[in-house]
Amino acid sequence: MESLYLLVPVALIFLAIAIKVLFWAVNSGQYDDLDTEGHRILFDEQPGDAPVSEDKSESSKRSDS
Amino acid sequence: MTTASDCFHCGLQVPPYSDFRLAIDGQQRDFCCPGCQAVAAAIVDGGLEQFYRFRTASATKPEERAVSAKRFEVYNLAEVQLEFVHALGEDRLQASLLLEGITCAACVWLIEHHLGKLAGVMSVRVNATTHRCLVDWQPSQIDLSDVMVALESIGYHPIPATEDRQQAMRQTESRRALMRLAVAGFGMMQVMMVAVALYSGADASWEGFFRWLSFIIATPVVFFSARPFFAAAKRSLLTRHLTMDVPVSLAIGGAYLASTWATVFGGGEVYFDSVSMFTFFLLLGRYLEMRARHRNGIASDRLAQLLPVTVERMDADGGWQPLPLSGVSAGDLILVPAGTTIACDGVVEQGRSAVVETLLTGEPDAIDKQSGDQVIAGTLNTDSALQIRVSAVGASTRLSAIERMVEQAQQDKPAQVAMADRLAGYFVAAVLVVSAVVGAVWWQLEPGRAVWVTLSILVVTCPCALSLASPAALTSAVGWLRQRGLLVTRGHVLEGLNHIDRVIFDKTGTLTLGSPQVVSVVSADDAIDEARLLEICAALETGSTHPIAKAFAPYVSGVEMDNVEQTTGAGVSGVLEGDHYRLGKPAFACAKETIAQPEGQGQWLLLSRNQKPLAWIQLHDQLRESALPLVKALRARGLSLELLSGDAEAEVSRVAAELEFEHWRCNCSPDDKLAHIRDLQNRGQQVMMVGDGINDVPVLSGAFVSVAMGGATDLAQTRADSVLLGRDLRALARAFDCAALTRRIIRQNLSWAIIYNLLALPLAAAGWIPPWAAAIGMSLSSLVVVGNALRIGRRSPEATAV
């Protein structure tokens, strides 16, 4: 039972990290458009049709934050 | 989604006699106009025809104007770019553009792929909710105007997003809300886990540990997530108007403080789990409500977006010099080329042209302007260039006056909206009084338990179910209506619909299609068939921005006219294969002989060849197909209907008679319309307004409930309480049914919540309800409310709909 004294604070730290990551994601605009991202997976790419803009827009999201 | 006779691209009806086809995915598709066909061709050429499989809503009809790089070239000027472009690094700029015409997520896919193919475009990001597009590009490789042309060619009209403040505010609000919700949600889960250990009977040493643990987790929930409630409660106390936020804050704050006390000094109970759960559910309700509010694709909020970015001004040595609009002042002489929007109020100095003033009057026909006549900012110059002496710019224009009127009208929205708030206020006051009385009684009987009992009253009567009762039902109804073509953007619409006595319609663009269509062709020479005649007319009108020209756009073919000339106020002429053709007023087309005009409503144009009459063409702004069923359905509900239009009497009375309107008014300016609605509302009538144009914007803002047409200007859409997404007016009748059902569900929910509270209150006051029971009771009562609300989607009022 004494292990709880260690494990519970560790869980708290994980919680803090999870919230921190979510804040970063929200602030970098990843949750601004909840309508499109849900559909994006359905827009299947044809083989050979390199999703140029996808890659680039991903990188720009990071560079923005 | 589209039937055989509907345009494959925009879903509008394909006009008779026209023939625009394109093979998409191996199937021949029909289009309504060359604009839609061209857009579809651009999409298919780019290998992006999957767009048509992905999309969930029809595209908007592209504006019928030639895609010319020239129109966008001004945006390459550095001083124009100042407002919406910023540098991201060496040879890398980012522009923020507003796109008109985004209807669903597939549009985002299409735009990102289409632009991503251009050399020099680094990244494209489109937000389907806000209709904003961020483009990064390398100016050394590609001009911004080329990017804008590419957007226009697939049917999205780009405007520089200059007014970003409100948008930024909205974004911060939504991000902040999401973060608060997340903290409350994570906190709730963790505290609940710990609470299980506490309730299942941890011994004394562990109890302290778990209490401290839940204290640590609940603290950010209270101080970060619940802050909006405290702020609102403070505001509501300052304005002496009790809202739900007051007991919510008291319950959260009180329970937190008491639990903290118990944690630090031992004894009593801790309520950290209730605090977190309570906060999370309330925030969830508010978040969903806010998303519904934001969803109304806010494109351009300001009228100023209508004006061109640059104008050509005469400089000291008599040449025309382009400069940003902000540099123009009264007294300058500016040149307004044919087909552009006039940027300032002024007086025509030179030239003669037809100007469309739909903006102010709602009148769809062009008005003849010559030297000495007043022109108004935001109106469209169609035929030929005008030189205008500027009399007013910016805030002193008529356009800005309308904008101010709109703001004012919005401020004195009828007070009934606040009704629900007031009722909640009474309930809140009652809860506070009861808690205080019970607390006082317990203080006399058993001081040690007084605080706990009082808190458990606040938690148990937690207005959770009560405050979820309406939002849950409304959210569910709003979602249902959205699927059926009505986007509700303001909270009071569904409740308000139940109180409407009178529905007022604008005519042009609302009950009618909004632009003249070719209705019939009466040939005077049987040798030529109708399709050929219309081809000739279309060739004559190609390149004209006059509203009449739009009627012929569907018939454009390869035929090319030479020497096309427009005569303002009369018609057009041109030469084809040696023959001289004229189209326009009878006196213009056939000066030598007079022939009898056929009977029939609308406008009759005469087409002549070498001064010999060839055919009569009837143009008419037709009623929407769904107008009559709607009017019948509304009348069956006992509503009184009225037609309010800026048009001339003859046309208005005809439409009123056709649809059997009991009241109608014509020649109304935006001020008249607003005054009329105010008058009605002052006499106690609840008015619903349906309109589409800029001239309707003040009325839309002032009416108790307002509906903008889907094709309406962005401004009208943002000022209206709801937007009709499709072309089917009958969605309105459905909205009335849905509102009635919603009201029934809300009443059931409220009764349930009140019964629950009335049962729980005495038990809690007697001190019989332990915290875990209070928490379970609260959750169950909320679940019942939400479950009941979801019935709106399932038990569709379709059966009673038209």
CA neighbor of B296 nearest in space, from B614, B710, B583 = B710
Contact B116 A56 (CB under 8 A): yes
Which pLDDT value is given to residue B223? 94
Please report the beta strands in B315-423, taking only residues with DSSP state E, as ranges in sequence order.
320-324, 333-336, 345-350, 353-356, 366-369, 374-375, 380-381, 386-392
Q: Which of the following CATH numbers is that of domain B517-620: 3.40.50.1580, 3.40.1110.10, 3.30.2290.10, 3.40.50.300?
A: 3.40.1110.10
Rg over alpha carbons for chain A, rounded to the nearest Å, is 18
Range with lowest mean pLDDT among B257-261, B468-472, B661-665? B468-472
Poorest-pLDDT segment among B580-584, B608-612, B748-752, B793-797: B793-797
Which residues are registered as beta bridge partners of B641? Answer: B503
Contact B54 A42 (CB under 8 A): yes
* pLDDT at residue B81 in the model: 79
B639-667 average pLDDT score: 83
**A11:B190 CB<8 A:** yes
Burial class (CB in 10 A: 0-12, 13-18, 19+), B706: buried
The DSSP 8-state label assigned to residue B305 in this structure reads: G
Q: Is the pLDDT of residue B802 over 50?
A: no
Which residues of B lie closer than 8 Å to A, measured between beta carbons? 47, 50, 54, 88, 104-106, 108-109, 112-113, 115-117, 121-130, 134, 136, 171, 174-175, 178-179, 182-183, 186, 190, 209, 213, 216-217, 291
- Residue to mutate among A5, A52, A63, with most B CBs inside 10 A, is A52
Cβ distance B186 to A60 less than 8 Å, yes or no, reads no
Report, as an integer, the average pLDDT of B284-289: 73
Mean pLDDT value across residues A5-25: 91
Residue B779 has pLDDT above 90, yes or no: no
Q: Which positions in chain A touch B183 (Cβ < 8 Å)?
A: 19
Using the beta-carbon criterion (under 8 Å), do B125 and A57 form an inter-chain contact?
A: yes
Confidence check: pLDDT of B727 > 60: yes
Q: Apex CA A47: angle with CA A43 and CA A51, to 5°?
A: 55
pLDDT of amino acid B648: 76
Nearest 5°: the CA angle B720, B723, B726 is 160
> What's the mean pLDDT when you consider all of chain B?
78
pLDDT at A14 exceeding the cut of 80 = yes
The whole-angstrom distance between B124's CA and the closest CA on chain A is 6
pLDDT tens sequence across B321-369: 777 777 788 888 888 887 778 888 889 988 888 887 766 665 666 778 8
For B303-408, CATH gives 2.70.150.10
Instruction: Look up the CATH superfamily of B486-513+624-727.
Output: HAD superfamily/HAD-like (3.40.50.1000)
E strand residue ranges, B709-779: 722-724
Which value does ipTM take for this structure? 0.71
Segment B180-205 shows an average pLDDT of: 86
Q: Give B301's contacts (C-beta < 8 A, 6+ positions apart).
A: B163, B166, B715, B718
Greatest mean pLDDT among A46-50, B401-405, B541-545, B770-774 lies in B541-545
Predicted local distance difference test score (pLDDT) of residue B460: 66
Interchain proximity A32–B209, CB inside 8 Å: no
Q: How far is B136 from chain A (nearest CA, A)?
A: 9
**Contact (CB<8Å) A52/B116:** yes
- Find all residues with CB under 8 Å of B401, minimum gap 6, and list them: none
Kindly determine whether residue A26 and residue B175, on different chains, have CB atoms separated by under 8 Å.
yes
Chain B residues closer than 8 Å to A18 by CB? 186
Residue of A nearest to B54 (CA): A43
Nearest to B128 among A18, A33, A52 (CB): A33
Residue B324 forms beta bridges with which residues?
Answer: B310
Q: What is the pLDDT of residue B410?
A: 55
Mean pLDDT within B528-541: 82
Question: Residue B367: exposed, middle, or buried by beta-carbon count in 10 A (0-12, 13-18, 19+)?
Answer: middle
What pLDDT sits at residue B179?
Answer: 93
Q: What is the pLDDT of residue B339?
A: 76
**Dist CA B706 CA B721 (whole Å):** 5
More confident residue, B266 or A6: A6
Separation CA B628–CA B650 (nearest Å)? 20
Contacts of B182 in chain A (CB under 8 A): 19, 22-23, 26
- The arithmetic mean of pLDDT across residues B178-205, rounded, is 86
| Residue in A3, A33, A58, A59 to test binding to B, most B beta-carbons within 10 Å | A33
Burial class for B488, CB neighbours closer than 10 Å (0-12, 13-18, 19+)? buried
What local confidence, expressed as pLDDT, does residue B415 receive?
43
Range with the lowest mean pLDDT among B82-86, B333-337, B410-414? B410-414
Domains of chain B, by residue range, sit at 1-61, 69-162, 172-294+415-473+744-794, 303-408, 486-513+624-727, 517-620
CATH topology of domain B1-61: Ribosomal Protein L24e; Chain: T; (2.30.170)
Beta strands B132-137 and B92-100, pairing class: antiparallel
Question: Is a pLDDT exceeding 70 seen at residue B792?
Answer: yes
- Kindly indicate the confidence band of residue A60, based on its pLDDT and cuts at 50, 70 and 90: very low
Predicted confidence (pLDDT) at residue A52 exceeds the cutoff of 60: no
Closest CA of chain B from A51, distance in Å? 7
Q: Inter-chain contact B186–A56, Cβ cutoff 8 Å?
A: no
* CB < 8 Å to B178, chain A: 26, 31
A30 to chain B: closest CA residue: B175
Rounded to 5 degrees, φ, ψ at B135 are -115, 125
CB-CB: which of B109, B117, B121 is closest to A43?
B109
Which residues of chain A neighbour B104 with C-beta distances below 8 Å?
A: 35, 39
- Give the separation between CA B426 and CA B244, rounded to whole angstroms: 10
What CATH architecture applies to the domain B69-162? Answer: 2-Layer Sandwich (3.30)
Are B105 and A35 inside 8 Å of each other by CB? yes
Q: Each residue of B88-147: pLDDT tens digit? A: 888 888 888 888 777 777 788 888 888 888 888 888 888 777 778 888 988 888 888 888
Q: Which residue of A has its CA nearest to B178?
A: A26
| Closest approach of A9 to chain B, Cα-based (Å) | 9
Q: Where are the beta strands (DSSP E) in B142-227?
A: 157-160
Name residue, tokens 């104007």: B65
pLDDT tens by residue, B604-628: 888 888 888 888 888 887 788 888 8
For range B666-677, the mean pLDDT: 83
Q: Which residue has the higher pLDDT, B736 or B339?
A: B736
Q: For residues B240 and B224, what is the distance between their CA atoms, to the nearest angstrom? A: 25
Residue B273: closest CA among B225, B215, B230, B223:
B215
User: Does residue B493 surpass a pLDDT of 70?
Assistant: yes
User: What pLDDT score does A51 carry?
Assistant: 44
Candidates B92, B111, B112, B190, partner chain A, best to mutate (most A CBs within 10 A): B112
Q: Which is more confident, B443 or B468? A: B443
Give A8's contacts in chain B (Cβ within 8 Å): 209, 213
Confidence of residue B163 (pLDDT cuts 50, 70, 90): low
Distance from CA of A50 to the nearest CA of B (A): 10
CB contact under 8 A, A31 and B178: yes
Report the residue of B43, B123, B194, B213 to disrupt the A interface, i.e. the one with the largest count of A CBs within 10 Å.
B123
Among B86, B88, B111, B125, the strongest candidate for a mutation testing the A interface, having the largest count of A CBs within 10 A, is B125
Residue type present at position B460? V
User: How much is the average pLDDT of B727-742?
Assistant: 85
Query: If pLDDT is split at 50, 70 and 90, which confidence band does A56 have?
Result: very low
Average pLDDT over residues B542-551: 75
Confidence of residue A23 (pLDDT cuts 50, 70, 90): very high
| Out of A8, A35, A49, closest to residue B129 by CB | A35
Active-site residues of B, by number, are 506
- Euclidean distance between CA atoms B709 and B722, whole angstroms: 9
Percent pLDDT > 70 in chain B is: 83
Which pLDDT tens digit goes with each residue over B22-51? 888 778 888 877 778 878 888 888 778 778
The nearest CA of chain A is from the CA of B166 a distance in Å of 15
Look at residue B64 in the predicted model and tell me its pLDDT. Answer: 53
- To which residue do tokens 């990001």 refer? B125
Over the stretch B212-249, which tens digit does the pLDDT of each residue have?
Answer: 999 999 999 999 999 988 998 888 788 777 766 777 78
Quick check: B717 and B692 in contact, CB under 8 A? no
> Higher model confidence: residue B544 or residue B656?
B656
How close does chain A come to B790, measured CA to CA in Å?
A: 21
Q: Which chain A residue's Cα is nearest to B50?
A: A43
Whole-number percent of chain B with pLDDT over 90: 3
With an 8 Å Cβ cutoff, the interface of chain A facing chain B consists of 4-5, 8, 11-12, 15, 18-19, 22-23, 26-27, 31-36, 38-40, 42-44, 46, 49, 51-54, 56-57, 59-61, 63
| Paired residues of B21 in beta bridges | B30
Q: Residue B458: is it exposed, middle or buried by C-beta count within 10 angstroms (0-12/13-18/19+)?
A: buried
Shortest distance between the Cα of B54 and any Cα of chain A, in A, equals 7
CB contacts, 8 Å: A31 with chain B: 175, 178
Contact B112 A19 (CB under 8 A): no
